Structure formats: C-alpha cells, structure tokens
Amino acid sequence: MPPFSALQVRVLLVTAALSSSVGLVLELMLVTQASYLLGDAALATGVVIGTFLAAMGLGAWLSQFVDGGERPMQRLLGAFLLVEICLSPLCLLGPLALFAVFSVDGPLWLVLVVVTVMVGVLGGMEVPLLTRLLESQQHLRTALARVLALDYLGALLGSLLFPLLLLPVFGLLPTAGLLAMVPLISSAVLCWVFPSCRRWRWPLSGALPLAALAAWALVPLGNRIEDGLYDDPVVGRVQSRHQRIVLTSRRGDLRLFLDGNLQFSSLDEYRYHEALVHPALALHGQPERVLLLGAGDGLAAREILRWPGVRRLDLVELDPQMLQLARAHPFLRRLNQASLEDPRVHTYVGDAFELVRRLKAPYDVVIADFPDPDSPVVARLYSVTFYGRLLERLAPGGLLVTQASTPFFTPKVMASIQATRAELNLITRPYSVDVPSFGPWGFVLAHRPGRSLQLATPPFEGRWFDRAQLERLFVLPRDLRPPEGVEVLPNRLTRPVLDRYQRQPLWRQD
C-alpha cells in the first residue's frame, strides 16, 4: 500500500476527533438518561464513566490482535473503518433500548452496562489502530502526538456541545439520531478517500438516507415510549439543559414531572403551596419584599401575590424553559393564574447558590422551594454555606422557610436541615402538612434569636389554611420527630450528608 497522502492523513485525524466527540456525547446521554430513569444521578455517573473507561482499556488491549498480515495497512484501515461503522447503530439504538427496557420493567442496569461496554471498546480500539496506521508514515512520537491531540480535542467538543446545544435544542433521542449520522458519514468519506476501501463506497452511501430516515423516526417513536411511562396523557414536554419537563392531564388533573418525578397534582397542590408560603408571611405580619427560590412553575408565586402588602417578589429559577412553560402553556398558566406576569414579580435565571449574592437585600421573607436533595448538586442548596448567604439577605426580623421532603419516609432530611440552620444560630420551627399525592410533607421555618412570633390574621382564607390551622401548625407528631439516640449531622459543603439521608428509608442507625 503506497504512503498516505496529506489529504488521507487529515481525513483519518478528523475522523478520529469526530468519533471521540460522538463517543463522549453518547456516554453523557447515557448518564443523563440513566439518571432520569433510575433516579440516582451519582450512581449512574459512576457506573457509566467507570465502565466506559474500563471498556476503553479493553478495546485498546483487543486492538493488538488486529494482525496486519501480508497487507498490514489495508487490514488496519479496514478495522478502523469497521469500528466507525459499528459506532453508528450503537448511537441510534442504545438510548432507545434503555427507554424500551425501562417501559417493560426490564434489567435496565444490565442494558446500560452492556451498551457502555460496547461503546467503550470501540472507542478504545480507535487510537491504537490509528497510531499504527500513521506510524509507518511518520515518526511514532509525531503520530501519537497528533492522534491524541485530535482525540482529546474531539472529547472537549462533545462535552461542550451536549449540555449547551444538543440536549436543550434537540432532546435525547433526536440527538441520538444525529450522532448516528456522524460516524456513518465519516466512514463513507474514508471509503471515497482510500481506494482500498472502494467496495464499501456505495453500500455506505446508500445507508446514509436510510439512517437519516431512522433518525427522523426516533422522534415520534421516543414520544410514544415516553407517553407509556405515564398514567395520564402527555400534554406538554420540554427537554431543557437541566431536566426533562413533562405535563400530563386527565379529567382536570394537571401533573408536572421533572425527570420522571412528580412535582405536583393540580388536585391537591394548593395544600403544599399554601403551607409553604402562608405560615411565614402570616407570622411576619407585614411582608413587603419576598425572595422565592425555585418554584418556576408560578404556583408559589400565585400564593405570595395574594398578600396585598407584598410590593416586590424576586424569583430565582435555574431553568428558563420552566419559566417559559409556566408563562405559555395554557393549562399551567391557568393554574398559576398568570402569576409570573404580575408587575411585582422580578425573575432571575441562574444558579441560586451563586446568584443570591447579587440580589438587593433585605427581604422580609425568603422561601426556598428546591427539589428534594437527592444529589450533591441539589444538596448544596441546603448547606450551612448557602443558608449563610440567605441570612445575609434576610431583614433583621425576617423569616426563612424551606421545603424539607417527607418527614415520615425520609425523616433525617428535616432533622438535618434543622441541625444545619442551628449551626448559624437560627431558631428552627418544623411543621408538616398532609398532601394526598405525596403523604405528609415537611417544612422548616427559621428566624434569628430574640424574634417573637406573633400570628397576624391573614387578609384571606385559603382552601387549606385559616387562622385556626396556622395556630396548631407547629405541633409536630411524635412519629415525625427524630427518636432519641439517633445522630443527625448538619449538611456542609465539606461534608455533604443530606443526599444520603434523602435516600435512607425511615429511621435507621448509620
């Protein structure tokens, strides 16, 4: 086989970079999908990344058995081409297989590992094969440097494209379809550039429109699979950079799901949101400035705006797609009573952990309505550090309240939130409300020492709350309190415990 031309070398290097980018995007997709379906982001990340790296080592080891024989360059080039061709159906079918297995309650972890191993083995074979191809044309150190440089550059490209463009714009399965086209196009280009691969030219060129058709068909097929995951008809779906947002509706019951987890049912959400908002505002008496963290669906804002004395409500939401859905979707807009359009509401998009430091203090009431702290990323919003930042934004007589998961099924969460705030010398008052869709739900109210809590008569009555309900609210049942002898630690950035407590069923010793 004659020496490679400059064009052929460039095509090989670009192909390797694109393949590395595709492989990394696919792994990130599997992590995102597994976190969504299995509910344990930390474990899913560890399994996928660890398995992928181990499988790459296996692929590199297997590449040594690709024997050059009498025509070494042609054999190596054929093996490299085969790796590219095999990567395409894995991109197309791997994520779809996970959804399909989950819908029939199959062995999802096993399928996840198998797909990850296959992708990793292919990725691990590429660099050794390409290095062996180029070392006959260049010095080994030059060939290796160029191969690794382009491979790492492709990985960087994929790691940025997935969260910033592919996931929020296209979603999971359409991205899988797009990914499947890249190695197939690269393979076709290889066949037209290298005469020794000419027999694959027309089969691969003919496969391109078929693959494009299959990629296009993934969108409705994926929607049908997703619809089967919910009991009620899906009336809205958005894939943002941060989460999968799904709305379902049946017989007037509107439900919101984030990454498959129920956030509210319109039949009883008023109990949760009235309990989150009104005790703190009634105990303050005359709230004028309120800070609301999370709650981009507009339901907590709806309740806050019922207080005529509130002059300004600052709302911090991580996901702009959630805000857009709350403003635009007719079902959700009707439920939140277009609260986000009220001129008193000022929305800020970003990570609350960083953004609260730039807000203008002070606030009479701060309300934190974050998701359950089931991952370190969310648990940091329940940490001593973050509560310290909120305390800096709280007026001298202000009140701070946060949702605290379900104290019956995850009781250490509420107790840890109390212990965390106690580290800042705050007085905490836990309480609980029954929400039929979830069971008993916990909240923790806090204030600085020396403040006496006098319950003001609310200017209205809610569907759940009235003055009598608020007066007995802080009598916490015994089975929701920590039993004696069980140690519950505060949640710190340097020692996060809350995500572990969130996954612990009922009380048990560590």
Residues belonging to the active site = 369
Q: Which residues contact 204 (CB under 8 A, 6 or more apart)?
A: 85, 184, 187, 188, 191
- Smallest Cα–Cα separation from 424: which of 389, 373, 379? 389
SS3 (DSSP) at 428: strand
Size (the chain), residues: 510
Handedness of CA 167, 173, 178, 179 (dihedral sign): positive
**Distance in angstroms (rounded) separating the CA atoms of residues 430 and 475:** 9
What is the per-residue burial (b if ≥16 Cβ within 10 Å, else e) of 17-34?
bbbbbbbbbbbbbbbbbb
Strands (E), 404-505: 427-435, 439-447
In the sheet with 289-294, reading across from the earlier edge strand, the strands are 345-349, 312-317, 289-294, 363-369, 394-403, 439-447, 427-435
In the sheet with 234-239, reading across from the earlier edge strand, the strands are 234-239, 244-250, 253-258, 261-265
Measured in Å, how far apart are the chain's first and last C-alpha atoms? 66
Q: In this structure, what token pair is assigned to residue 467?
A: 């003055």
**Distance in angstroms (rounded) separating the CA atoms of residues 323 and 70:** 64
